[in-house]
Chains A and B, each alone.
Chain A
Amino acid sequence: GAVVSQHPSRVICKSGTSVKIECRSLDFQATTMFWYRQFPKQSLMLMATSNEGSKATYEQGVEKDKFLINHASLTLSTLTVTSAHPEDSSFYICSAIPGGTAIGYTFGSGTRLTVV
């Protein structure tokens, strides 16, 4: 089945540093990937749509300069949280659509970011 691999699963970083999260489609190509943020006991909030070979599309209220997205190949999208602050601590999840909607959106296992 379609698998989306996300790495790292958890990361702790100091305030002011940058953190990169990787999202890979392992057995399919994904021209589009999605990045979500999830606060405790809440639903998933779409941050941006990552498009292979072009700029990401950010949702309203999401700072594009803070959350840098790069989708350089058909199997890899990265989210970089720049100059991280404690309020950026959250659970970040990526997803992709393998082979159209017939299979449904597949999610990565998430990254727990803690900024200290």
Chain B
Amino acid sequence: GQQLNQSPQSMFIQEGEDVSMNCTSSSIFNTWLWYKQDPGEGPVLLIALYKAGELTSNGRLTAQFGITRKDSFLNISASIPSDVGIYFCAAPEGGSEKLVFGKGTKLTVNP
């Protein structure tokens, strides 16, 4: 099936630093979604992207839908301790409502 390759697997940064993570695939997707998951909780939608080339912000978060429709990135600016968690990219499989997930990026922010 379709796969999303998410990197990096983990990041350790200092508070105030910017963060960037990305997802790539050999398949084309029409929608890219970015989620954050806190321990013991379900994923929470951060940003949804629906158009190739689209750049969308949500506070300190910015995500882009790659022009080839095979990739997306998420940036977090001026990180704070509450940004700690696991970030997942996800996309609906072609012709289906089923979501494909990346393996996640675990973010640790040192105060």
Contacts and interface: CB of A to CB of B under 8 A. Distances in A.
Interface of A: 4, 6, 32, 34, 42-44, 46, 49, 91, 93, 95, 97, 101-110, 112
Nearest to B90: A105
B33 interface: yes
A107 B33 contact: no
A44 B43 contact: yes
Contact of B103 (A32, A43, A93, A105): A43
B42 interface: yes
Contacts of A110: 40-42
Contacts of B33: 104-105
Given A34-B98, A46-B98, A49-B98, 5 more contacts: A44-B101, A95-B99, A102-B48, A104-B48, A107-B43
A34 B104 CA distance: 19
Given A43-B102, A49-B97, A101 B92 contact: yes
B31 interface: yes
B92 A42 contact: no
A44 B45 CA distance: 14
**Which among A46, A95, A107, A110 has the highest number of chain B CB atoms within 10 Å?**
A107
A103 B42 contact: no
Contacts of B90: 105
B40 A93 contact: no
A43 B99 contact: no
B97 A43 contact: no
A109 B98 contact: no
